[in-house]
Structure 1
Amino acid sequence: MVVTIDFQHVFKHPLQLVVETHLTKYPNAKDKWVFKVETLERKIDLSKGVDYRRRWAFCENILPNILRQVSALNVKELILEEEAWLNIRSGHLQLKSRNITWASYARMSEESKFARADDNPNWTVFKQHGQIDINNFGPLTHLLEMFASKIINYGVQKTVRIMEELLTERAGKSDS
């Protein structure tokens, strides 16, 4: 079974601020789960107006101890990869994310987009589609899928909350 999520949110802030905030939000004191982000590759294509970045986020393993009894799941940190294409001309940021850790057991992928809202160019629409496909865990597969579903939903809500808090802080600083 594949666990999926589709999510949409409107940030009442300009695209430039939202994109900048997304690209610099981790690590931060509001979320201890992501403790390091490394940029592995960055290319700017001036002829196409595209700024490309490939980054790894290093996260704490938040699996419950009961699931960590499986040796493959008992790792200290998780690594997630994010590829980002900022199209400066059309004014949108497209993202693709996937797990590096546990890739042979589970495949997590997200596709996200930040773009100016059609009805208000000073607002930004965030759309995300994500899925997790877990295999090779026999009877634990269903339990892991249920846990993954809860974590995905919680993670999206938490990310939006953190983004809103950071955006409010940063917008306040730019006003002064």
Structure 2
Amino acid sequence: MVWISFDEHVFRHSWDKVVEAALRKYPNPETPNVSSTDILEREVDEDGKLISRRIISSYWSNVGTDIVRGLTGIDLSKTVHALEISVLDPKEKKYELTSKNYNFLNYITVDERLTYVPHETEPDTTLLKQEWCISVQNLGFQSYLESMMGTTMKSTASKGREGIEYVISQIKEEMEKFATPVVEEMQQLAVTTMKEFNSVQSKLEEAQKMLQEKNLQDELADFITKASSQPDRKSDFSSS
């Protein structure tokens, strides 16, 4: 028997923001069970889709793993490695991730699929569709273990979503920290430029004033020179 379940969640953020956060999801304090991520391969195909393959290492330490250990003797609290394949399609605005554990496969197989798409009816929001498929083999209590592990994973899915929200807030803070010095620098530049402009304008006005005064002095000197060169008409009249 196989345990299958579905769930949905709406992020009150645009698809671009959510996907950027999903790409930068680890590490974050909301999902401390994820110990490392290692990129194996990353490529852009002929359709412009970004395809990535990476190893996600995490710990399955919870009530469910304790029950499995009690019933079967298998310790699932050790590091579990999963192969994750993601396809980011910027044209269709779709980001899909599938993952499967590759240790403990003789006993438990966990397939998970996450799909991020813009919400069809709510602008600037993003819909996350999440699916799980869990199967147990070579152990007793198969149906019980599948249901118990599936229910546990589904209930802890909120931690992953909180991780997305955390990363979004971190990105926002980074942008604000980056923008603040730039704004301050632009403001300071504007103040300095205005001071320089006022200084230049003042010097121009002073130069114009000096030029006007010089022109006036030149005109006055020229007038005096011309006036002194004219004959004394009063003197001529008297002599006559």
**Structure with more helix by fraction:** 2
Deviations 1:95-146 (A, max 9, x none): 11111121121221112210111224421111011110111112x4345224
Alignment correspondent of 2:219: none
TM-score, scaled relative to structure 1: 0.86
User: Quick one: percent identity of the two aligned structures?
Assistant: 24
The change in CA–CA distance for 1:83 and 1:153 in structure 2 (over 3 A counts) is: same
Name the structure 1 match of 2:12.
Answer: 12
Report matched runs for 1:69-84 at 5 Å: 70=72, 72-73=74-75, 76-84=78-86
Partner Cα separation in structure 2 for residue 61 and residue 52 of structure 1: 27
**Any residues of structure 2 matched to 1:135-154 within 5 Å, and which?**
135-138=137-140, 140-154=141-155
Q: Deviations over 1:19-74 (max 9, x none)?
A: 121122112233220010001111112x3010000111101241228707856535
CA shift for structure 1 position 149: 2.3
Alignment check: 8 A CA contact 2:81 2:101 kept: yes
Query: Tell me, what secondary structure is at the counterpart of 1:55?
Result: strand
Question: Which has more radius of gyration?
Answer: 2
Amino acid at match of 1:118: E
Report the equivalent of 2:44: 44
Question: By percentage of residues, which structure has more strand?
Answer: 1
Task: Choose which of 118, 133, 136 in structure 1 pairs with 2:120.
Answer: 118
Cα distance, 1:76–1:119 mapped onto 2, change above 3 Å: same
Instruction: State the one-letter code of the partner of 1:39.
Output: I
Shift >3 Å, 4+ stretches: 68-75, 171-176
Deviation at 1:79, TM superposition (A): 0.6
Output the TM-score relative to the length of structure 2.
0.65
Structure 2 distance, partners of 1:28, 1:111, is: 20
More RCO (CA 8 Å, sep 6+): 1
> Does the CA-based 8 Å contact 1:91-1:116 persist in structure 2?
yes
Matched residue count: 174
